A and B are shown apart, each in its own frame.
Chain A
Amino acid sequence: MGVLENKFKDNVIVASMDKLLGWARSTSPWYFQFGLACCAIEMMASAASRHDLERIGMMPRSSPRQADVMIVAGTVTMKMALRVKKLYEQMAEPKYVISMGSCATSGGPYWQHGYHVLKGVDLVVPVDVYVPGCPPRPEALIEGLLKLQEKIQTERPLTRKSV
Chain B
Amino acid sequence: MGVVKGDQMVLNIGPQHPSTHGVLRLEVMTDGEIVSQIRPHLGYLHRCFEKHSENVTYEQVIPFTDRCDYLASMNSNFGYVVAMEELMEIKIPERVEYIRVIMGELNRIASHLLALGVYGLDIGAFTPFLYMLRDRERILDIFEYTCGARLLYNYMWVGGVSHDLPKDFETICIDFLDYFEPQIKEYNNLLSYNKIFVERTADVGVIPADVAVSYGVTGPNLRASGVKWDVRKDEPYSIYEKFDFDVPTGTAEFGTLGDCYDRYWVRMLEIEESVKILRQALKEVPSGDVHQALPKKIRPPIGSVYRRTESPRGDLGYYIVSDGTPVPSRVKMRSPAFTALSCLDEVSRGWMISDVIAILGSLDIVLGEIDR
Contacts and interface: CB of A to CB of B under 8 A. Distances in A.
Interface string A97-140: 00000000000011011111100000000000000001101000
B64 A109 contact: yes
A80 B45 contact: yes
A136 B70 CA distance: 14
B133 A112 contact: no
A113 B55 contact: yes
B78 to A, nearest CB: 18
A123 to B, nearest CB: 17
A16 interface: no
B48 A116 contact: yes
Interface string B58-77: 00000110010011000000
A77 B46 contact: yes
Nearest to B152: A38
A41 B15 CA distance: 16
Contacts of A48: 129-130, 133-134, 137
B368 A37 contact: yes
Contact of A117 (B17, B48, B63, B114): B48
A48 B118 CA distance: 11
B18 interface: yes
B70 A75 contact: no
B22 interface: yes
Contact of A115 (B43, B51, B133): B51
Interface string B97-135: 000000000000000001000100000000001110110
A36 B15 CA distance: 9
Contacts of A45: 133, 136-137, 140, 150
A109 B22 contact: no
Contacts of A38: 67, 70, 151-152, 368
Interface string A33-62: 111111011101100111000000000001
Interface in A1-56: 33-38, 40-42, 44-45, 48-50
Contacts of A116: 43, 46-48
B52 A114 contact: yes
Given A38-B67, A44-B133, A109-B63, A75 B47 contact: yes
Contacts of B44: 36, 77, 79-80, 83
Interface string B1-31: 0000000000000111110001100000000
Contacts of A114: 47-48, 51-52
B80 to A, nearest CB: 16
B238 to A, nearest CB: 25
A144 interface: no
A157 interface: no
Residue from the set A37, A77, A110, A135 with the largest chain B CB neighbour count within 10 Å: A37
B22 A49 contact: no
Contacts of A87: 16
Interface residues of A, number: 33
A135 B46 contact: no
Contacts of B130: 48-49
A41 B51 contact: no
B134 A49 contact: yes
B71 A62 contact: no
A50 B56 CA distance: 37
Contact of A33 (B18, B140, B367): B18
A109 B67 contact: yes
B152 A50 contact: no
B187 to A, nearest CB: 14
Nearest to B141: A50
A117 to B, nearest CB: 6
B71 A41 contact: yes
Contacts of A75: 45, 47
Nearest to B368: A37
A111 to B, nearest CB: 10
Contacts of A115: 48, 51
B22 A35 contact: yes
B17 A62 contact: yes
Contact of B152 (A34, A40, A112, A135): A135
B23 A80 contact: yes
Contacts of B118: 44
22 contacts: A33-B16, A34-B16, A36-B44, A37-B45, A37-B367, A41-B114, A42-B150, A44-B114, A44-B133, A45-B137, A45-B140, A48-B129, A49-B134, A50-B133, A74-B45, A77-B371, A79-B44, A80-B23, A80-B45, A115-B48, A116-B43, A117-B48
Given A33-B16, A116-B48, 8 more contacts: A33-B18, A36-B22, A48-B129, A75-B47, A83-B14, A113-B55, A114-B52, A115-B48
